[in-house]
Amino acid sequence: MNFLTILPMAVVMVAGTQLVAAVFLASGDRPRRASTGFLAGAALAVSAGTTLAWLVFRLVRGAAGGGRKPVETAIDWVVLALLVVLAVVVFLRRHSAGEPGWMGRLQHAGFGYAFRLGLLLFVVMPSDDLTMVTVGATAARHGLPWWHLVPFVLLTVLLLALPLLALLLFGDRADRVLPRMRDWADRHSWIISEAVVGFFLVLTVVDLLR
């Protein structure tokens, strides 16, 4: 397994509320400053979360010494349990579409508010917490170095940056593109998330059967 295997989990990180918030910020009064703040906060949260999980499981795996195989199997079971819980969480939240009241304030958000939002949104969301632990644990279980987490973080930020990129590329026409992006993320992104979780679950089961 390498960093390419964990990249699809970035889709789960941004699906739903996170991408909808990014669209609101890109549609606001200060889209560039607000979007940049949001991306910076998200990058910090995702980097810290995956790194912490990687460190914890790397220490557990390293402490096993010669008896590493049983520990790796145990980590696989932990990852499998996390994926099952994540699939359930995503499924239960599939009908939670809609715009929370606090999103109305994003139209006037500046860099600082958007930064805090990006930081907190990825910390308080159970699906994101589960995803970060899963990615960090999987990387540690397979002995991947820390830098293998970097592409995952970068892809997560890139996906969140799509609304801002749409604004920069399409200009005024983005007024038509962004609402469509928001509506799609609000209604259908859970399906993509479940498919990615299912793919990762199959890979984990394969590891357990080896």
- pLDDT tens by residue, 59-83: 988 776 655 677 888 888 888 898 8
Q: What residue numbers bound the domain in which 198 lies? A: 3-209
Q: What's the alpha-carbon Rg for the chain, to the nearest Å?
A: 18
- The Cα–Cα gap between 118 and 103 comes to 13
Cβ-based neighbour number of residue 200 at 10 Å: 25
Is residue 152 predicted with pLDDT exceeding 70?
yes
* 73-77, 100-104, 169-173, 183-187: segment of lowest average pLDDT: 100-104
Q: Are 149 and 13 in contact (CB under 8 A)?
A: no
pLDDT in tens, 128-139: 899 999 999 999
Pull the structure tokens for residue 162. 């799509």
The domain total for the chain is 1
pTM: 0.83
What is the 8-class DSSP label of residue 64?
Answer: T
What is the 8-class DSSP label of residue 28?
Answer: S
Q: Are 115 and 41 in contact (CB under 8 A)?
A: yes
pLDDT band at 196 (very low <50, low <70, confident <90, very high): confident
Q: Are 124 and 15 in contact (CB under 8 A)?
A: no
pLDDT of res. 31: 83
Position 70, amino acid: P
Pull the structure tokens for residue 58. 């790397």
Tell me which residue has tokens 């669209």: 23
Q: What are phi and psi of 118, to 5 degrees?
A: -60, -35
Is residue 163 predicted with pLDDT exceeding 70?
yes
